[in-house]
């Protein structure tokens, strides 16, 4: 299994686009810090590395797009390139091959997320200074206003965004496996990432809108504002919905890859 996973990592990291993804994150952090610094000087505002990290949380949506591209191509690309048969003639069960690809996607997604957090902290610290980790951040919890360290809030911001990263990567992986097309998987996944909130808003008037994936994957409101994204939703409900989607995505991927004939 480790050999399969290592092989998938080689495939991911030997491609130029992978390093372009990392470079893009770094460029966004540097440009964002420069703009923040200019604004802070103009308005005589105080900015800290932790405040900058919070604002850089939006870059995680770009991480989600990048992870979806890799996830959407890791199976579909084998079919498009005609290499899937060469992969399957190896003395490994199909489910092991699929699992190695999925674990490689998760590993890449996590690496890109950790890289984003580190670069945001490093660039923010170099530009604004590394102090301010213990400065208070106010939020509503249990009907009361509570204070937590700014550093804890920054960590929470990225932890919340790890959920849509996991779900979207798994969705792209499923589409890639089901349709055996990297183009379809990447295009559909990126579309859903970009327009997921719009879809949720359009379906707001329907009674079943709370079962939509995008309405549930942002758990931050439950912890930060003591409110639910939509009426009749609770934290437990959202977690259950997310687990169901996750299991369904994996089940479809497994059935599609292990049970269908391969013709490439």
| Averaged pLDDT score across all residues of the chain | 81
- In the chain, % helix, strand, coil (3-state, to 5) comes to 75, 5, 20
Q: Which residue has the higher pLDDT, 262 or 192?
A: 192
Distances (CA, A) of 142 to 139, 150, 154, 167, 224: 10, 20, 21, 28, 10
Neighbours of 200 (CB within 10 A): 20
**In contact, 156 and 235? CB cutoff 8 Å:** no
Q: Coil, strand or helix: which one is 64? A: helix
240 closest CA partner among 199, 211, 208: 211
pLDDT at 154 over 60: yes
Dist CA 140 CA 221 (whole Å): 10
- Average pLDDT (108-136) is 85
Give the pLDDT confidence score for residue 124 in this predicted structure.
86
Angle between helices 150-179 and 94-128 (to 10 degrees): 150
Give the pLDDT confidence score for residue 209 in this predicted structure.
78
pLDDT at 110 over 60: yes
pLDDT at 33 over 90: no
Q: Which residue has the higher pLDDT, 49 or 216?
A: 216
Place of tokens 């670069």: 119
Give the pLDDT confidence score for residue 166 in this predicted structure.
93
Give the pLDDT confidence score for residue 181 in this predicted structure.
74
pLDDT tens by residue, 162-214? 899 999 999 989 988 888 777 888 888 888 878 877 877 777 777 777 888 88
- Average pLDDT (76-105) is 74
Phi, psi of 83 (to 5 degrees): -100, 0
Place of tokens 């779900």: 167
Dist CA 87 CA 100 (whole Å): 12
pLDDT at 240 over 90: yes
Q: Which residue has the higher pLDDT, 57 or 111?
A: 111
Give the pLDDT confidence score for residue 239 in this predicted structure.
92
């Amino acid at each position: 299994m480790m050999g399969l996973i290592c092989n998938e990592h080689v495939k991911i990291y030997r491609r130029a686009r992978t390093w372009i993804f990392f470079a893009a994150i770094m460029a966004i952090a540097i440009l964002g810090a420069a703009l923040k610094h200019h604004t802070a000087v103009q308005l005589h505002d105080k900015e800290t590395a932790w405040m900058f990290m919070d604002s850089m949380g939006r870059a995680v949506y770009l991480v989600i797009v990048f992870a979806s591209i890799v996830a959407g191509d890791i199976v579909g690309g084998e079919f498009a390139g005609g290499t899937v048969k060469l992969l399957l003639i190896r003395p490994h069960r199909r489910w092991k091959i699929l699992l190695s690809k999925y674990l490689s996607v998760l590993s890449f997604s996590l690496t890109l997320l950790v890289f984003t957090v580190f670069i945001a902290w490093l660039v923010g610290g170099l530009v604004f200074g590394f102090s301010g980790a213990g400065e208070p951040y106010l939020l509503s919890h249990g009907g009361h206003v509570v204070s937590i360290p700014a550093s804890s809030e920054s960590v929470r911001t990225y932890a919340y965004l790890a959920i849509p990263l996991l779900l979207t990567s798994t969705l792209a992986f499923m589409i890639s496996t089901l349709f055996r097309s990297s183009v379809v998987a990447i295009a559909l996944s990126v579309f859903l990432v970009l327009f997921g909130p719009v879809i949720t808003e359009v379906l707001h008037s329907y009674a079943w809108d709370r079962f939509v994936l995008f309405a549930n994957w942002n758990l931050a409101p439950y912890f930060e504002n003591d409110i639910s994204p939509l009426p009749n939703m609770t934290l437990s409900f959202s977690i259950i919905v997310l687990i169901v989607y996750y299991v369904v995505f994996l089940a479809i991927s497994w059935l599609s890859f292990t049970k269908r004939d391969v013709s490439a």
